Amino acid sequence: MLKGKKILVGITGSIAAYKTITLVRLLIKAGAEVKVVMTNAAKEFASPVVLSTLSKNKVTYDLVEGDDWSNHVMLGRWADVFVIAPLSCNTMAKMANGLCDNVLLAVYLSATCPVVIAPAMDEDMWHHPSTQRNLEQLVKDGNHLIKVGNGELASGLFGEGRMAEPEEICQYLIEHFFRSSELKGKKAIVTAGPTYEAIDPVRFIGNHSSGKMGFAIAEELYLRGADVVLITGPTHQKTNYNGIQVRAVVSGDQMYDIATREFNDADIAVMSAAVADYKPISAATDKIKKKLDEWEITLIKNKDILLQLGKDKKKGQFLVGFALETNNEKENALIKLQSKNADAIVLNSLNDKDAGFSIDTNAVTIFHSNGAEVTTGVKSKKEVATDIVSFIIKHLHA
Ligand code: CTP
C-alpha cells in the first residue's frame, strides 16, 4: 500500500524520537519514499546520519545551510503526507500559533499535503490546559491526530503521553490515506477465531484457533477498500484499523445470528472461524460440582453458518469457506465447496509443520467452484491473506 508513496517525516525534540528511526525503517521497508525534516533540538535525540542512511535522502534541519537556502515549500509539496512524530509540547504550541522560527515549522506552514501529528510528552505536560488548548486548535486547523498511548514515560512515571508505536503510525497512514479502491463500495463479512460453547457458567468447549488468519483476511479486505464487519470469537487478536467493525461473540449461535443478518447486504463473506461443530445440549445455570467419577455431556450439532449462507446466497455474492482435512484433502475440500454452495474453499494443509492454528505462517490451496485453483506455499498469514483476497477480487465478477 505504501509502495512509491512520498512520506515526509518531521521530528521534534523528544525522547520518543528514537522510535522515529524505526518508523522510517518501516516506511522504507514498505516501499515508501521518505524524507526527513527535523528541528535542531531533535538532533539531540535521533542522529541525522542514521536517518539519512535509512531514508536514503538528505535530512533537512536548517533553513539555510552554508550558502544554500532550503526550499521548504517544495518539501511540503513533494509529500503525499507529512507526519510529525514525535510532536513536542514546544513545537505543538508554535504550530498552534503559526510561529515559524525553524525549517520544520516553515514546511508545516507551507505544506499542501495532509499533516499527521503524533504527540509525545510527559503526562503532566500532556494534561496541562495550554497543551490541550493547542492540540484542539491543531485538530480544528485540519491536522490528523494519532492519539498518545498510556504507559511508562521518559520520566519513569506511568500515564498518558507516550507517542504511538511506529507500527501504529504506519497503519494509521495506510488506513487514512493509502487504502486501495479495488473493493470500494463493497461490504465484506469475515468470521474468525474459535467459539466457546458453555457447559456451565465457568466451563466451555472450545478449540485452539487463534483468529490470526481471520483477522489478517479482514484487514486485507479493508486495505483493498471494502467496508468490513469482522465477527470474532474469543481471541487475543486486535486490529489497529478503526474502520473495521468488530463484533465480538462467544458462542456459535451468537456468531450465526450476526453473520446471517450481516450477510443480507454483503458482497463478500469469508468464513474462517473454527466454529465448534457440537455444543452441549443445554448449559447448566450453576457450576456443576465434581460429585461423579464419570460424567457424560450430551452434545448436539451447532448451526452451520457457512451452510446457511450458502442457502441464503443471492446472485453477485461471493462466499468463501475454509476446510481443514487430514486425508483425501482435495477431494474432501471439493465436496465441502459443493455441499455448502460456496464459491471458493480454502484448504488448510495440516501436513505442513509451518502451517496451522496458533503459528504465524500458513499454507493453503484455494479452489474455485469453476475449477480454478491456487496454491500459496508456506507464507506469513498476512501474505496468505493477500493471496486469498487477490483470488476473491479476481473472481468476484468473473
Ligand atoms: N463452519 C461454519 N459453521 C459451523 C461449522 C463450520 O460456518 N458450525 C464453517 C467454517 O468457518 C469453515 C467451514 O465451515 O469455513 C468448515 O467446514 P466444516 O464442515 O465445519 O469443516 P470441518 O469442521 O472440518 O468438518 P468435517 O469434520 O465435516 O470435515
* Arithmetic mean of pLDDT over the chain: 94
CA distance 280 to 189: 27
12 CA to centre of own chain: 27
Q: Sorting pLDDT into bands at 50, 70 and 90, what band is 65?
A: confident
Q: What is the pLDDT of residues 148-165, one digit of tens each?
A: 998 888 778 788 899 999
pLDDT tens digits, 279-314: 999 999 999 999 889 999 999 999 999 999 999 999
Locus of grid cell 519513569:
156
Is it the case that residue 101 has pLDDT exceeding 90?
yes
Angstrom CA distances, 56 to 32, 68, 169, stand at 11, 20, 20
The finding on whether 271 has its CB within 6 A of some atom of ligand 1 is yes
Q: Which of 305, 319, 338, 345 to mutate to test the pocket of ligand 1 (most atoms within 8 A of CB)?
A: 305
pTM over 0.95: no
* pLDDT band at 397; cut points 50, 70, 90: confident
SS3 at position 155? coil
Q: Which residue type does 289 have? A: K
Distance CA 282, CA 270 (A): 29
Pocket test for ligand 1, best of 207, 304, 347 (most atoms within 8 A of CB): 304
CA–centroid distance, residue 324 to ligand 1 (Å): 8
CA-based Rg of the chain, rounded to a whole angstrom? Answer: 26
If you average pLDDT over residues 188-198, what whole number do you get? 98
Chain centroid, CA 149 distance in Å? 17
How far apart are the CA of 275 and the centre of ligand 1, in A? Answer: 7
50: Cβ–Cβ under 8 A, 6 or more apart, which residues? 21
Mutation probe of ligand 1 site: the residue of 336, 349, 366 with most atoms within 8 A of C-beta: 336
pLDDT greater than 80 at residue 68: no
**3-class SS of residue 132:** helix
3 state DSSP class of 299 = strand
- Which atom of ligand 1 is found nearest the CA of 308? 7
The label of the residue with cell 524524507 reads 35
| Nearest atom in ligand 1 to 306's CA | 7
**H helix runs in 231-318, sequence order:** 252-263, 305-312
Give the whole-number percent of the chain exceeding pLDDT 70: 97
- Range from 56-70, 143-157, 314-328 carrying the lowest mean pLDDT: 56-70
Residue pLDDT, tens place only, 30-42 = 999 999 999 999 9
Closest to 36 in 3D by CA, of 104, 115, 95, 116:
104
**The CATH number, out of the four listed (3.60.20.30, 3.40.50.10300, 3.40.1640.10, 1.10.287.110), of the domain defined by the range 187-396:** 3.40.50.10300
Give mean pLDDT, residues 75-93.
96
Residue range(s) of every CATH 3.40.50.10300 domain in the chain: 187-396
Q: Kindly tell me the burial class for residue 375, based on how many C-beta atoms sit within 10 Å of its own C-beta (0-12, 13-18, 19 or more).
A: exposed
Min mean pLDDT across 4-8, 64-68, 95-99, 283-287 is at 64-68
Nearest residue (CA) to ligand 1, atom 19: 336
**Per-residue pLDDT, 356:** 66
CB crowding 110-148: b at 16 or more within 10 Å, else e: ebebbbbbbbbbbbebbeeeebeebbeebeeeebbebeb
Does 70 have pLDDT greater than 70? no
Q: What is the mean pLDDT of residues 209-220?
A: 96
Catalytic annotation, pick one of 207, 240, 332, 341: 207
The segment(s) of the chain belonging to CATH 3.40.50.1950 are 6-177
Has 351 been annotated as catalytic? no
Backbone angles phi, psi at 257, to 5 degrees: -60, -50
Name which residue sits closest to atom 14 of ligand 1, judged by CA. 306
* pLDDT tens-digit series, residues 334-383: 999 999 999 999 998 776 767 666 677 888 999 999 999 999 989 999 99
Query: Is pLDDT at 78 greater than 70 in this prediction?
Result: yes
Q: Whose CA is closest to 318, among 190, 223, 224?
A: 190
| Whether the Cβ atoms of residue 37 and residue 78 lie closer than 8 Å to each other | no
Q: What percentage of the chain reaches a pLDDT higher than 90?
A: 84
The CATH class of the 6-177 domain is alpha beta
Other Cβ atoms closer than 10 A to 196: 20
Note the pLDDT of residue 258: 98
CB-CB contact of 38 with 91 (8 Å): no
Q: What is the pLDDT of residue 90?
A: 96
**Model pLDDT, residue 67:** 66
